[in-house]
Amino acid sequence: MTTTGAAAGALTCGIDIGGTKIAGAVVDADGTVVAEARVTSPATDPSAIETAVAGLVAQLTADHPVEAVGVGAAGYIASDRSTVLFAPNIAWRNEPLGADLARLIGLPVVVENDGNVAAWGEFRHGAGRDHDDQLMVTVGTGVGGGVIASGRLLRGAHGVAGEIGHLRLVPNGRLCGCGNHGCLEQYGSGTALVRDARAAVAAGEAGSAALLERAGGDVEKIDGPLITTAAHDGDAFAVAALAALGDALGQGVASLAAVLDPGVVVVGGGVSDAGDLLLGPLREAFERELTGRGVRPEAEIRPAAMGNRAGMVGAADLARN
């Protein structure tokens, strides 16, 4: 197990390993980003990713006395906060990522799930900092997130709690990449938004012609930002597509709230750029589906405050604490 020796007020480094880029930042104890950089991710090559992370840390720490490094990575991170048990898009299987990076970098390293570090960043320095119980929902290619319970990151017995995108939303529903059917991310993710919009356009669904025109007549060029822009411009088809996405997310959040009882739900990720076009239908579905509605306090649903820095700031803070 790799442990940190960072002092309470020390500078730490937060790294966010993504599918196309690796982003890093030097962060102080107040959550302020002191320095920031990014490099292209070497896709699926585990050793090349480790080398790239080490190089990025070296670049960031050249002028800053960093005492520890936190790393956010997609996948199941073991309770030792070092070993990646499984990653969906990288060939990490029981990979001692933390120990390998500590050896390369020469600093203590803590590894955490990418959704968890984003949740921790928003809890410590973002939209959830006034609540000790927070549910973070990140809506991008998939649906991720993390849970803060009584001021602590909920990791579970084996370190793999918080996989909210794989809550069963539709029994015997769409096949998910995890191998199960009907998972929330098959209905509430950016991937689901684009898939369903393309299918409706290809089928000539009423009202979809304007979106196809925006895409230059090419269905394959319809993507999340295009749909969001069209919705902001008042395109009824695009507005309805985002509303369907929000409805699915709201149903999932209501089920999670029945178990977790969060004080606040923070919604982030790229698709959250749609703002109230997504959050409005999400809130409506949440209020409609919540168990005990009308007789229990309800969590406020807020947009994330930190954008794509949440993961880096959260990882850096976890390395410090």
Same domain, 179 and 101: no
CATH code of 142's domain: 3.30.420.40
Same domain, 92 and 169: no
Q: In Å, how far are 14, 31, 81, 192 from 99, measured between CA atoms?
A: 16, 25, 10, 36
Answer yes or no: is 4 within a domain. no
Q: pLDDT (tens digit, 0 to 9) for every residue of the chain, 321 residues total?
A: 344 456 667 899 999 998 789 999 999 999 999 999 999 988 778 899 999 999 999 999 999 999 999 999 988 999 999 999 998 778 889 999 999 999 999 999 999 999 999 999 999 999 999 999 999 999 998 999 999 999 999 999 999 999 999 999 999 999 998 899 999 999 999 999 999 999 999 999 999 999 999 999 999 999 999 999 999 999 999 999 999 999 999 999 999 999 999 999 999 998 999 999 999 999 999 999 999 988 999 999 999 999 999 999 999 999 998
Which pLDDT value is given to residue 7?
65
Same domain, 139 and 102: no
Same domain, 21 and 44: yes
Element (H, E) at 314: helix 310-320
The C-alpha angle with vertex 132 and arms to 258 and 123, in degrees rounded to 5, equals: 105
Q: In Å, how far are 111, 155, 185, 264 from 97, measured between CA atoms?
A: 8, 18, 27, 32
Answer yes or no: is 3 within a domain. no
Answer yes or no: is 5 within a domain. no
Same domain, 156 and 275: yes
The reply to whether the predicted model has a pTM over 0.85 is yes
Residue of 235, 321, 320 whose CA lies nearest to 277? 235
Domains in the chain, number: 2
Amino acid residing at 55: G
Same domain, 30 and 137: no
Answer yes or no: is 6 within a domain. no
Answer yes or no: is 184 within a domain. yes
Answer yes or no: is 200 within a domain. yes
Q: Domain limits at 96? A: 11-122+309-320
Which pLDDT value is given to residue 148?
98
Answer yes or no: is 66 within a domain. yes
Q: In Å, how far are 11, 17, 94, 196, 211 from 221, measured between CA atoms?
A: 43, 26, 38, 14, 10
Which pLDDT value is given to residue 294?
87
Same domain, 180 and 99: no
Same domain, 113 and 215: no
Which pLDDT value is given to residue 130?
97
